């Protein structure tokens, strides 16, 4: 061999063992001596050991790691959601598979008026694909061998109502007749609301279609054939719904008004309230709205209708101050508060079905006064005097009792009133001796036993002197005044 560094030549008779010790050169050193060995010649590098088993094992290990990783994200073999097999898929891929299969599911529909074929996509069919896929992986992961080939997971199919109806109408429109919603109307003649009944329509039962899609999706056939007929379609606003609204509206008209406490201080005309109200159909419900601007016109008049001055109370007393009767019970005055916002608030209240609006008022108390009444009968002058607070308010000519039936003197109190009465024992006992009977004596006001003020116009031609059987005779009009003026308990003083 030639040393590239020095130009020397090394020779050997046999193959050189680069692991053996080097001996000193032997022979004569000539180039032709086959036994000569040159210790300074470089050795052959030792051949490297081959690790073929290691290199063969690395791909297998990678595959094993990958298999473990896959088992942590894939769904177990044999797993199905409804009729869709999702084994070996990730949850995301399974969700996509469910959505795609349902969209492609085909329903062939036969009707008496024609046939149509629609897909799940056209009908707006859907399932909660993401949740179902997550459920499939959670319950049946690939790594859990015990969950392989498990029972299918059920999946509920839904249809979008508007999408399904639009698709069915587009291909089978002859089966559809639109229903007419019920409504309400105000009758001015009766001032009440009445129901305008609903009219049912016809169409295809969406549940029948949904069930067909469900069956096809569940059994994995991806197609189904069904026969359908038109069925009644109820109006969105039913007659029953309108009846309930009518009942609410009429109850509002019955009670409509502005209230002060329990008092309906300002009743409202039924037709006027109805003119404020509008009833609209909002997604199958009847809703009530009210016109606040129209209500404001009435609110502006409220102060003149609500405000009032107090009315003082008056009572009748005797000279000792004891209350005998109430002339006037007294009425509290009131002043309406601020009406800002009342129209808007009432409109909102009417929309909720309440037509009784409570007003805020300030009460003004009333005062009380007493009138002391008494009667004086002067037998000497044959006159009767009526006093209020010691002021004469009436003076009348009378006829008192003639001897021996003189009118008793003293102090008495009115204790009874009789509008018309027959007087005299003979009126009640035909066998009575030394008696009399006077029929239909009016305005009898008793103040002593069998002694009273009463009218005598029917049987007296004149007054001013004793001529009665003890009672105080008066002209009828005067007796009528005393009858109403002298309440029970009024003091009567009879004297000469």
Question: Residue 56: pLDDT above 50?
Answer: no
The reply to whether 119 falls in a domain is yes
Residue appearing with tokens 């018309």: 420
* Cα separation, 224 vs 213, whole angstroms: 7
Q: Are 489 and 392 members of one domain?
A: yes
Question: Residue 314: pLDDT above 50?
Answer: yes
- Give the count of beta carbons closer than 10 Å to the beta carbon of residue 485: 17
Q: What is the mean pLDDT of residues 443-465?
A: 97
**What are residue 110's DSSP bridge partners?**
115, 227
Q: What percent of the chain has pLDDT over 70?
A: 86
Q: Are 483 and 457 members of one domain?
A: yes
Q: Are 25 and 67 members of one domain?
A: no
The reply to whether 242 falls in a domain is no
Tallying the residues shown for the chain, one arrives at: 496
Q: Are 77 and 202 members of one domain?
A: yes
Residue appearing with tokens 């009670």: 255
The reply to whether 241 falls in a domain is no
Place 149 in a pLDDT band, splitting at 50, 70 and 90.
Answer: very high
Q: What percent of the chain has pLDDT over 90?
A: 81
Q: Are 18 and 57 members of one domain?
A: no
Q: What DSSP string describes 369-415?
A: EEEEEEEEEETTTTEEEEEETTEEEEEEE-B-BPTTSPPPPEEEE--
The reply to whether 245 falls in a domain is no
Q: Which of 56-60, 156-160, 472-476 has the lowest mean pLDDT?
A: 56-60
What confidence tens digit (pLDDT) does each residue in 231-276 have?
A: 999 999 999 999 999 999 999 999 999 999 999 999 999 999 999 9
Closest listed residue to residue 414, CA positions, set 488, 484, 470, 479: 488
Residue ranges making up the domain that contains 377? 371-495
Asked which of 236, 267, 290 is the last residue of a domain, the reply is 236
pLDDT at res. 5: 33
Question: Residue 34: pLDDT above 70?
Answer: no
Q: Are 350 and 391 members of one domain?
A: no
The reply to whether 211 falls in a domain is yes
> Do the Cβ atoms of 78 and 93 come closer than 8 Å?
no
pLDDT at res. 433: 84
- Give the count of beta carbons closer than 10 Å to the beta carbon of residue 456: 24
Question: Residue 66: pLDDT above 80?
Answer: no
Question: Residue 41: pLDDT above 80?
Answer: no
The reply to whether 214 falls in a domain is yes
Place 126 in a pLDDT band, splitting at 50, 70 and 90.
Answer: very high
Tokens of 482: 């005393």
The reply to whether 275 falls in a domain is yes
Q: Are 297 and 403 members of one domain?
A: no
Asked which of 236, 271, 302 is the last residue of a domain, the reply is 236
Q: Are 199 and 86 members of one domain?
A: yes
* Cα separation, 399 vs 460, whole angstroms: 9
pLDDT at res. 67: 56
> Do the Cβ atoms of 177 and 169 come closer than 8 Å?
no
Q: Are 107 and 225 members of one domain?
A: yes
pLDDT at res. 432: 84
Number of domains in the chain: 4
What confidence tens digit (pLDDT) does each residue in 319-335 have?
A: 999 999 999 999 999 99
Place 425 in a pLDDT band, splitting at 50, 70 and 90.
Answer: confident
Closest listed residue to residue 211, CA positions, set 153, 133, 156: 156
The reply to whether 251 falls in a domain is no
pLDDT at res. 39: 33
Q: Are 394 and 305 members of one domain?
A: no
Q: Are 289 and 196 members of one domain?
A: no
pTM: 0.54
Place 69 in a pLDDT band, splitting at 50, 70 and 90.
Answer: low
Q: Are 353 and 454 members of one domain?
A: no
Question: Residue 477: pLDDT above 60?
Answer: yes
Closest listed residue to residue 466, CA positions, set 398, 409, 411: 398
* Cα separation, 390 vs 374, whole angstroms: 8
Asked which of 364, 388, 420 is the last residue of a domain, the reply is 364
Question: Residue 1: pLDDT above 50?
Answer: no
Place 473 in a pLDDT band, splitting at 50, 70 and 90.
Answer: very high
Q: What DSSP string describes 274-325?
A: HHHEEEEEETTEEEEEE-HHHHHHHHTTHHHHH-B--B-EEEEE-TT--EEE
């Amino acid at each position: 061999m030639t040393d590239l560094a020095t130009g020397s030549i090394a020779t050997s008779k046999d193959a050189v063992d680069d692991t053996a010790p080097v001996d000193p050169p032997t022979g004569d050193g000539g180039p032709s001596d086959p036994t000569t060995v040159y210790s300074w010649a470089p050795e052959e590098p030792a051949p490297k050991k081959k690790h073929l088993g290691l290199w063969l094992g690395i791909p297998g290990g990678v595959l094993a790691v990958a298999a473990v990783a896959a088992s942590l994200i894939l769904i177990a073999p044999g797993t199905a959601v409804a009729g869709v097999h999702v084994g070996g898929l990730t949850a995301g891929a399974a969700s996509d598979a469910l959505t795609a299969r349902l969209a492609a599911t085909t329903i062939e529909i036969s009707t008496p008026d024609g046939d149509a074929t629609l897909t799940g996509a056209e009908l707006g069919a859907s399932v909660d694909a993401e949740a179902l896929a997550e459920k499939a992986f959670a319950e049946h992961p690939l790594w859990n061998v015990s969950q392989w080939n498990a029972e299918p997971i059920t999946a509920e199919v839904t249809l979008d109502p508007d999408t399904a109806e639009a698709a069915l109408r587009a291909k089978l429109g002859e089966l559809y007749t639109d229903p007419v919603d019920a409504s309400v109307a105000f009758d001015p003649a009766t001032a009440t609301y009445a129901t305008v009944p609903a009219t049912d329509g016809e169409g295809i039962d969406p549940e029948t279609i949904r069930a067909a899609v469900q069956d096809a999706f569940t059994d994995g056939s991806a197609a189904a054939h069904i026969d359908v007929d038109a069925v009644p379609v109820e109006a969105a606003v039913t007659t029953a719904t309108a009846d309930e609204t009518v009942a609410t509206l009429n109850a509002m008209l019955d009670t409509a008004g502005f209230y002060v406490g329990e008092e309906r201080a300002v009743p409202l005309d039924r037709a006027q309230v109805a003119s404020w109200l509008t009833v609209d159909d909002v997604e199958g419900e009847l809703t009530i709205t009210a016109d606040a601007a129209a209500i404001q016109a009435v609110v502006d008049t409220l102060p003149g209708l609500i405000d009032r001055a107090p009315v003082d109370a008056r009572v009748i007393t005797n000279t000792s101050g004891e209350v005998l009767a109430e002339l006037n019970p007294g009425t509290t005055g009131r002043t309406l508060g601020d009406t800002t916002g009342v129209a808007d608030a009432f409109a909102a209240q009417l929309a909720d079905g309440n037509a009784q609006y409570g007003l805020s008022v300030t009460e003004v108390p009333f005062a009380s006064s007493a009138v002391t009444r008494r009667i004086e009968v002067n037998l000497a002058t044959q006159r009767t005097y009526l006093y209020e607070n010691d002021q004469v308010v009436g003076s009348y000519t009378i006829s008192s009792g003639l001897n021996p039936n003189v009118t008793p003197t003293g102090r008495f109190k009115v204790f009874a009133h009789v509008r018309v009465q027959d007087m005299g024992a003979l009126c009640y006992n035909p066998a009575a001796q030394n008696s009399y009977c006077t029929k239909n004596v009016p305005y009898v006001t008793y103040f002593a036993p069998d002694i009273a003020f009463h009218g005598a116009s029917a049987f007296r031609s004149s007054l001013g002197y004793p001529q009665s059987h003890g009672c105080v005779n008066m002209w009828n009009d005067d007796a009528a005044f005393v009858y109403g003026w002298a309440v029970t308990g009024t003091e009567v003083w009879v004297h000469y």
